[in-house]
């Protein structure tokens, strides 16, 4: 496995070793010791699977309490996956990184607690699977506005197809009014 820090060093792009032949392939998507050695010692408590059609934009989601670290991968199709740093004391507060994740490239993205997360479906259909470090808690769930001009996320929106949003995502808050994390307290939890 290859672990590469992104422009926000705490967000890590993971390239698993792929062993393939005429029958197909095998990849190891998680290995606790290798992840810990690469600076990702977290334990995972829940696996999630999201299926979406082309043009769907999900996010930007986070939990203000019980923050979730996420290990994201795509097993069918392709998405543009985004993480936004919401840790107030972080030097990258309010910055974002985005990467194309697909069934073909088999890349994974580690997004630590303290970030909002979302993705936009590029292919006709995408299955996104992600492990999380804490349980879902509806009462703590928050949504950051996907197109907040202060964030300036360069979503690769398909020509002539405005993104399809859930009512919750369409009402996301801008960064200036959103609940954010006290970075020091977050790192102590």
Tell me: the pLDDT tens digits for 65-112?
A: 999 999 999 999 999 999 999 999 999 999 999 999 999 999 999 999
Q: Does the pLDDT value for residue 53 go beyond 60?
A: yes
Q: What percent of the chain has pLDDT over 70?
A: 96
Asked whether the predicted pLDDT for residue 56 surpasses 60, the reply is yes
Our answer to whether residue 130 is catalytic in this structure is yes
Confidence of residue 189 (pLDDT cuts 50, 70, 90): very low
The answer on pLDDT for 159 being more than 90 is no
Marked catalytic residue, from 31, 61, 99, 100: 61
Tokens of 27: 């990849």
- HEC-encoded secondary structure of 14-43: EECCEEEECCEEEECCCCHHHHHHCCCCCC
Percent of the chain with pLDDT strictly greater than 90: 89
Which has more confidence, 25 or 172? Answer: 172
**Average pLDDT over the chain, rounded to an integer:** 94
- Per-residue pLDDT tens over the stretch 105-149: 999 999 999 999 999 999 999 999 999 999 999 999 999 999 999
DSSP state for residue 158 in the 8-state scheme = P
pLDDT at 188: 47
Residue 106: φ, ψ to 5°: 60, 20
Ranges of each domain in the chain: 2-17+40-182
Q: What's the confidence (pLDDT) of residue 183?
A: 63
Nearest Cα to Cα of residue 103 among 132, 72, 82: 72
Q: State the average pLDDT over residues 42-62.
A: 97
Query: Quick one: tokens of 85?
Result: 């740093």
CATH H superfamily, domain 2-17+40-182 = Jelly Rolls (2.60.120.10)
pLDDT band at 161 (very low <50, low <70, confident <90, very high): confident
Position 112 scores a pLDDT of 96
Task: Select which of 62, 99, 117, 130 is catalytic.
Answer: 130
Residues in Cβ contact with 45 at an 8 Å cutoff, skipping those fewer than 6 apart: 132, 133, 134, 135
């Amino acid at each position: 496995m290859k672990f590469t820090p992104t422009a926000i060093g705490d967000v890590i792009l993971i390239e698993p070793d792929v062993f393939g032949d005429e029958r197909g392939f095998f990849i190891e998507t998680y290995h606790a010791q290798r992840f810990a050695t690469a600076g990702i010692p977290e334990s995972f408590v829940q696996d999630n699977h999201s299926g979406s059609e082309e043009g769907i934009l999900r996010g930007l989601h986070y939990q203000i309490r019980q923050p979730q670290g996420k290990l994201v991968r795509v097993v069918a199709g392709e998405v543009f996956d985004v993480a936004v740093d919401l840790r107030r004391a972080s030097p990258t507060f309010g910055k974002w990184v985005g990467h194309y994740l697909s069934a073909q490239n088999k890349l994974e993205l580690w997004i630590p607690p303290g970030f909002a997360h979302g993705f936009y479906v590029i292919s006709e259909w995408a299955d996104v699977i992600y492990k999380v470090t804490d349980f879902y808690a509806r009462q703590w769930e928050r949504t950051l506005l996907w197109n907040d001009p202060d964030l300036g996320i360069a979503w690769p929106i398909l020509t002539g197809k405005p993104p399809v949003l859930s009512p919750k995502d369409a009402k996301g808050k801008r960064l200036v009014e959103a609940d954010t994390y006290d970075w020091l307290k977050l790192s102590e939890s």
